[in-house]
């Protein structure tokens, strides 16, 4: 039974509440090009007709400040049934700030919260509200930071496989000389039947990445993510054409905010074969047609996408 009757009256968005939580990591973490020891999640709660919806992004606390200082005023009073209109109003409002980065992450968190509100107002699962294109999506476990000792890497990836996850991803690129042995250790831990993905976060040079691809193929790696920086189109094209058979080249996590256009151009120019994003970095609406942001409340988005989707799981606790 729905709580809201469609009609000529709007359902005003009553308020936005935003909070940010910075959580220390268990140990210093790193990938091929970045190190960190804490993670901040920005949570947006939107309310309309007494119903509250949740949206979030992983971003600096400045993102929460932008939501509170600007976006809350932009969407408050607008129709909770007209989420695209809210999104457009937010995009227009941040014009002078620049679209990439903090502004897009802030919009994404609010946008997700508003869709959640609408789904709850209608008593519908989000996947039903948006419309499903498939029954399920593949998932993979992601971790294996370059700061992890080999035994920890093996334990983490092996534990995911033990829980039934058939694909795992590890980070590489911090210490290239050690990467082949780390990949081998991972393969030993996950057995021969688990798909193994690697992510260099753009750490390699072109020739280095090519050489590594050959080495990784020997360990059954089927997905090589950001072997070179995502803005190196020629390098991505080189990798796509020259990588061993059976190894997909992925990129797009750190592309510009208009993810659909960015990814589309790269696919069109045959620079990559796979694209992904899991952090709501690039704006939730854009990613609706690209990749699901994370495994959780927004997973139904994956089922709605008409394109190839791979859901990302960064912690066993978020598995259903």
State the residues that interact with Mg ion by CB under 5 A: 199, 253
Question: Residue 93 CB, nearest distance to Mg ion (Å)?
Answer: 30
Task: Return the percent helix, strand and coil in the chain, to nearest 5.
Answer: 40, 20, 40
Question: Residue 280 CB, nearest distance to Mg ion (Å)?
Answer: 14
Nearest to Mg ion of 104, 142 (CB atom):
142
Nearest to Mg ion of 200, 301 (CB atom):
200
Nearest to Mg ion of 223, 284 (CB atom):
223
Question: Residue 240 CB, nearest distance to Mg ion (Å)?
Answer: 17
Question: Residue 199 CB, nearest distance to Mg ion (Å)?
Answer: 4
Structure-derived torsion over alpha carbons of residues 106, 302, 216, 270, reported in degrees to the nearest 10: -80
Question: Residue 31 CB, nearest distance to Mg ion (Å)?
Answer: 7
- Cα distance between residue 275 and residue 143, in whole Å: 18
Nearest to Mg ion of 172, 286 (CB atom):
172
Nearest to Mg ion of 111, 253 (CB atom):
253
Residues in Cβ contact with 236 at an 8 Å cutoff, skipping those fewer than 6 apart? 227, 228, 230, 249, 251, 266, 271, 272
Question: Residue 157 CB, nearest distance to Mg ion (Å)?
Answer: 16
Nearest to Mg ion of 116, 199 (CB atom):
199
Alpha-carbon distance values, 86 to 55, 67, 134, 195, 283 (Å): 14, 13, 27, 40, 13
Nearest to Mg ion of 53, 292 (CB atom):
292
- How crowded is the C-beta side of 58, counted as CA atoms within 13 Å? 9
- Cα distance between residue 314 and residue 71, in whole Å: 29
Nearest to Mg ion of 115, 145 (CB atom):
145
Question: Residue 197 CB, nearest distance to Mg ion (Å)?
Answer: 9
Question: Residue 312 CB, nearest distance to Mg ion (Å)?
Answer: 9
């Amino acid at each position: 039974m729905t709580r809201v009757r469609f009609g000529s009256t709007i359902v005003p968005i009553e308020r936005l509440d935003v909070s940010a939580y910075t959580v220390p990591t268990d140990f210093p973490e790193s990938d091929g090009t970045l190190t960190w020891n804490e993670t901040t999640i920005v949570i947006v709660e939107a309310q309309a007709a007494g119903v509250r919806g949740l949206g979030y992004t992983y971003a600096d606390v400045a993102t929460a400040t932008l939501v509170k200082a600007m976006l809350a005023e932009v969407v408050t009073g607008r129709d909770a049934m007209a989420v695209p209109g809210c999104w457009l109003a937010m995009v227009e409002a941040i014009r002078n700030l620049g679209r990439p980065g903090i502004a897009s992450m802030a919009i994404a968190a609010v946008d997700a919260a508003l869709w959640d509100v609408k789904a709850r107002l209608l008593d519908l699962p989000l996947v039903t509200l948006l419309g499903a294109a498939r029954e399920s999506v593949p998932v993979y476990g992601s971790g294996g930071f370059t700061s992890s000792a080999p035994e920890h890497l093996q334990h983490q990836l092996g534990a995911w496989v033990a829980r039934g996850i058939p694909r795992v991803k590890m980070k590489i690129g911090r210490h290239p000389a050690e990467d082949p042995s780390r990949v081998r250790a991972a393969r030993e831990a996950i057995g021969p039947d688990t798909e193994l993905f690697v992510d260099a976060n753009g750490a390699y040079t072109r020739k280095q990445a090519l050489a590594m691809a050959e080495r990784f193929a020997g360990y059954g790696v089927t997905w090589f993510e950001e072997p070179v920086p995502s803005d190196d189109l020629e390098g991505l094209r080189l990798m796509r054409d020259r990588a061993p058979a059976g190894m997909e080249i992925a990129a797009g996590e750190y592309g510009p905010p208009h993810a659909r256009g960015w990814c589309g151009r790269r696919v069109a120019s045959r620079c990559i074969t796979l694209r992904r994003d899991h952090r709501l970095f690039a704006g939730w609406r854009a990613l609706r047609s690209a990749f699901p942001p994370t495994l959780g409340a927004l997973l139904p988005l994956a089922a709605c996408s008409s394109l190839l989707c791979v859901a990302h799981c960064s912690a066993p606790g978020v598995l259903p």
